[in-house]
């Protein structure tokens, strides 16, 4: 395939572009920032650039990973989020249809599923962790990032309905290398925090890239669908109340060796876990499971 990857200079793009090329695909990277995995420097907001890139490069598949992300809330105004995340997605969808592109994979986010009520968690009076899968409704994003990513999802849904363009939307959980935006409220170090998150809301960037490779392959067969992509959680809904009240005890039940390994490093588990992303739908229907999970993190210690 001749694949356009937007956001090619980003954390995901730097891993995904080489992975696709290794698989024998011709890849054109587009990003507003230059980089080793970017061939066209420019923004998805530039409709003429999007059109010329798709047509002159003979693009027949698109991975749309370019976006303004949550950290940009501090540095960019709301209109920039709307321009890139909504108008940019519309530009790509319209040009994809015009060029008869065969498949479209959209990098979405689990962040759009987190309302302020969920974010407040235990402090807001919640008594059990929220079990999150693709059936969750209504979706009430808590910030401009989530609002615009949800709007972009709605555009994808509309274009599939109107034009039958095969589209897979991947709601990825955390795979960024930066510190958590709540780091000031967490006792753990960055590596400790990330290790804990593999229990319920994190995946590796390699797994994120591989999910996109699989989605590209499966899109024509599936037609349209949305998948949460995160390391498989060991927990079940029956653990939700205890996870909120005493997460270390639940983790110890599933991983009896975790306390000793953590103590050796001076690490600790979160006192409370307020949400769990369930990626079983991706396992069942997309045929994708993250290779890296909490068990492997422990074994690596």
Q: What is the pLDDT of residue 183?
A: 45
Specify the pLDDT at position 188: 66
Look up the domain containing 268 and give its range. 2-300
Structure tokens at 109: 């986010």
> Is-contact 98 173, C-beta < 8 A?
no
Number of domains in the chain: 1
Instruction: Write out residues in the chain with pLDDT < 70, as ranges.
Output: 71-75, 179-188
> For residue 230, what is the domain's CATH number?
3.40.50.720
pLDDT of res. 187: 61
The pLDDT value recorded for residue 180 is 60
Residue 206 confidence (pLDDT): 98
Please spell the DSSP secondary structure of the chain, one letter per residue.
-EEEEETTTSHHHHHHHHHHHHTT-EEEEEESS--TT-SEES-TT-HHHHHHHHHHTT--EEEE-----GGGGGTS-HHHHIIIIIIHHHHHHHHHHHTT-SEEEEEEEGGGG--HHHHHGGGGT--SPEEE-TT--S---SSHHHHHHHHHHHHHHHHHHHH---EEEEEE-B--SSPPTTGGG--S-HHHHHHHHTTTTB--HHHHHHHHHHHHHHHHHH-EEEEEESPPPS--GGGHHHHHHHHHHHHHHH-TTHHHHHHHHT----S---EEE--HHIIIII----S--HHHHHHH-
- Whole-prediction pTM: 0.94
Which pLDDT tens digit goes with each residue over 42-52? 999 999 999 99
Model pLDDT, residue 125: 80
Q: Which pLDDT score, from 0 to 100, does residue 69 have?
A: 73
Name the nearest CA neighbour of 273 among 216, 205, 200, 215.
200
The Cα–Cα gap between 16 and 35 comes to: 13
Per-residue pLDDT tens for 191-239?
A: 999 999 999 999 999 999 999 999 999 999 999 999 999 999 999 999 9
Q: What is the pLDDT of residue 189?
A: 73
């Amino acid at each position: 395939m001749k694949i356009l990857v937007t956001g090619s200079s980003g954390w995901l793009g730097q891993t995904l572009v080489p992975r696709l090329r290794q698989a024998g695909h011709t890849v054109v990277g587009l990003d507003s920032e230059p980089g080793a995995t970017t061939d066209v420097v420019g923004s998805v907001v530039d409709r003429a650039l999007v059109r010329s890139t798709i047509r002159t490069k003979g693009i027949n598949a698109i991975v749309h990973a370019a976006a303004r992300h949550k950290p940009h809330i501090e540095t960019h105004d709301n209109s920039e989020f709307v321009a890139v995340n909504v108008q940019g997605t519309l530009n790509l969808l319209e040009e994809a249809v015009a060029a008869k592109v065969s498949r479209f994979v959209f990098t979405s986010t689990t962040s759009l599923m987190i309302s302020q009520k969920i974010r407040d968690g235990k402090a807001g009076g919640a008594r059990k962790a929220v079990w999150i899968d693709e059936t969750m409704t209504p979706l009430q994003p808590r910030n401009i990032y989530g609002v615009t990513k949800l709007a972009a999802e709605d555009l994808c849904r509309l274009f599939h309905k109107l034009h039958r363009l095969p589209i897979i939307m991947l709601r990825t959980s955390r795979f960024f290398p930066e510190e958590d935006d709540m780091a000031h409220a967490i006792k753990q170090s960055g590596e400790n925090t990330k290790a804990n998150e593999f229990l319920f809301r994190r995946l590796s960037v390699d797994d994120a890239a591989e999910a996109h490779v699989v989605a590209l392959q499966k899109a024509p067969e599936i037609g349209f669908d949305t998948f949460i992509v995160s390391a498989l959680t060991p927990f079940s809904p029956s653990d939700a109340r205890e996870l909120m009240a005493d997460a270390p005890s639940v983790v110890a039940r599933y991983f009896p060796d975790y306390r000793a390994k953590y103590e050796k490093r001076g690490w600790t588990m979160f006192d409370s876990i307020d949400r769990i992303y369930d990626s079983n739908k991706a396992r069942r229907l997309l045929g994708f499971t993250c290779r890296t999970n909490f068990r492997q993190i422990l074994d690596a210690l």
